[in-house]
Amino acid sequence: MIDLFSGLDAWVLVSLLLALAFVLAFEFINGFHDTANAVATVIYTKAMPPHLAVFFSGVFNFLGVLLGGVGVAYAIVHLLPVELLINVNTGHGLAMVFSLLAAAITWNLGTWYFGIPASSSHTLIGSILGVGLANALINDIPLADGVNWQKAIDIGSSLVFSPMAGFLVAALVLIGLKWWRPLSKMHKTPDQRRNLDDKKHPPFWNRLVLVISAMAVSFVHGSNDGQKGIGLIMLVLIGIVPAQFVLDLSSSTYQIERTRDATLHLSQFYKRNADTLGEFLALGKSLDGDLPEKFRCNPQQTEPTIAALLGTLKGVADYHSLSQESRIEVRRYLLCLDDTAKKVGKLPGLDAREKADLDKLRKDLTTTTEYAPFWVILAVALALGLGTMVGWKRVVLTIGEKIGKQGMTYAQGMSAQITTAGMIGLANIFSLPVSTTHVLSSGVAGTMIANKSGLQGGTVKTILLAWVLTLPATVALSAGLFWLASKALGS
């Protein structure tokens, strides 16, 4: 790993280390901010002592990051338009990274200090959107092109609907438990259990389910939220030291050949569908302009881009053999071809089988650009896992006692946790970032309604206010910081 950073100017190296420290600080804060939600029910119900709960939650968060892949990481990265991603520049990368991280960390710390279960996912996404919009304004790019709005809509939908689904599903699970075992001790609160049964802990089976579901929430939280940190670090590395990280330099000869074959098959795909795609892609009509100099992706330059990529990769068995400039060019070609293929997949006229083939080609195209070195994954896993073990008390009290007018029963805790683990696990399958905070707190609220316990209006209003304000606040904050940083750098 160390050799990747050799030969860097001192100021670039210091900036890089500082940027990596910012990302890991964000993940550490994310650990004690969000993971408090994962252990809230198991601590409040006395199913596990706090020190054991946070320790094992940290372990399962660590494992979740290690085993979670990078699908969600690049869903976050691709919130930025492809034109911004291919325009790799050290100063520009520094301004982008520090602006969005400073905004995210500031908001996260503020909401944690007041014990508000705000969402780190909303915080990060708002910060990224702010940078994209500010970049558009600074460079006279239409706001419609300043952000990958389709990806933003997809992610926004998952962030909006997952809490609603959490509310409904958790309520239904609790109703099912009350119907199945109406007289069970799982419907008691910890205080009722202590006063009526003189027992401190939940019944054995309820306790087991609470512990297992809490660890499941921790694992899926790590695999979802941890990937956001991985995506941020890859933005840092590509933006500050592009020559070493624009491509996966550890790619095998087979992976490089797979990329080359995918490019050939993509060309054949377009020729096969020339009647449908000929006008959109200007097939047979090359436009003037050199892609690497223009920093823009144009579907009508697809054929020249394919030709340039195949020419650059001809005879290449190891990315180390490419010059630094060629590596950057290859990444630009691949990102633009993938972006165009994504647009083509949304055009009318292609049948379902052809669209499925195109999706497979896109995965092969990006196999050496959408990656993360193991040391990046390990660093994020450690930061998130360690962050889990501190700072949890404020949010645990909010989840356990301040959402409903009565304390949480064991059945409510199980219902909320099982629902949260299932919802986030499903989001991971589709590479969608979701908020552990909002899914769990809405699940608890749903069980309070199903249990006829009522909701505390003040707490619910505070959580909703944080939910509504997080995006606009972080968009404005990161956009302002990016504008100031760009002006300072003379961009």
pLDDT tens series, the chain, 491 aa: 566 566 667 777 888 888 889 889 888 887 776 666 677 778 878 888 877 888 888 889 899 999 988 888 888 888 877 767 776 566 666 778 788 888 988 888 887 777 665 677 788 888 988 988 888 888 777 777 778 787 788 888 888 888 889 999 999 999 999 999 888 888 888 888 888 888 888 889 999 999 999 999 989 988 988 888 898 898 888 877 888 888 999 999 999 999 999 999 999 999 999 888 888 888 877 655 555 455 578 888 899 899 999 999 999 999 999 998 899 889 989 999 998 998 899 888 888 899 999 999 999 999 999 999 999 999 999 998 888 777 556 555 555 545 545 678 899 989 999 999 999 999 888 888 888 877 888 888 888 888 887 666 666 677 677 777 888 889 999 999 988 888 776 64
Judge contact between 341 and 324, C-beta under 8 A. no
Judge contact between 402 and 410, C-beta under 8 A. no
Query: What is the pTM assigned to this prediction?
Result: 0.84
Is the same domain home to 103 and 168? yes
Domain count, the chain: 2
Domain boundary among the residues 339, 367, 395 is at: 367
Is the same domain home to 297 and 445? no
Is the same domain home to 259 and 201? no
Mean pLDDT, the chain, whole residue set: 83
Structural domain boundaries enclosing 266: 253-367
Is the same domain home to 124 and 231? yes
Task: Quickly list DSSP for 320-369.
Answer: GGS-HHHHHHHHHHHHHHHHHHHHHHTSTT--HHHHHHHHHHHHHHTTTT
Tell me if 106 is assigned to some domain: yes
Tell me if 328 is assigned to some domain: yes
Is the same domain home to 108 and 235? yes
Is the same domain home to 279 and 411? no
Predicted pLDDT at 292: 47
Domain boundary among the residues 343, 367, 391 is at: 367
Predicted pLDDT at 387: 82
Tokens at residue 186, please?
A: 């799982």
Domain boundary among the residues 351, 367, 383 is at: 367
Cα–Cα distance measured from residue 91 to residue 485, given in angstroms and rounded to the nearest whole number? 9
Is the same domain home to 143 and 202? yes
Is the same domain home to 33 and 139? yes
Predicted pLDDT at 485: 84
Tell me if 3 is assigned to some domain: no
Is the same domain home to 340 and 385? no
Tell me if 483 is assigned to some domain: yes
Is the same domain home to 331 and 222? no
Is the same domain home to 363 and 378? no
User: How many residues are listed for the chain in this entry?
Assistant: 491
Cα–Cα distance measured from residue 118 to residue 115, given in angstroms and rounded to the nearest whole number? 9
343 contacts: CB under 8 Å, gap ≥ 6: 299
Tell me if 4 is assigned to some domain: no
Q: Is 404 helix (H, G, I), strand (E, B) or coil?
A: strand
Tell me if 1 is assigned to some domain: no
In the block, residue with structure tokens 């165009």: 340
Is the same domain home to 55 and 87? yes
Contacts 24+ apart (CB under 8 A), 356-365: 357/269, 358/269, 361/262, 361/265, 361/266, 361/269, 362/338, 364/258, 364/259, 364/261, 364/262, 365/259, 365/262, 365/263, 365/266, 365/334, 365/337, 365/338, 365/341
Burial of 293: CB neighbours in 10 Å, binned 0-12, 13-18, 19+: exposed
| Exposure letters 229-257 (e unless 16+ CB within 10 A, then b) | bbbbbbbbbbbbbbbbbbbbbebeeebbe
Tell me if 2 is assigned to some domain: no
Tell me if 378 is assigned to some domain: yes
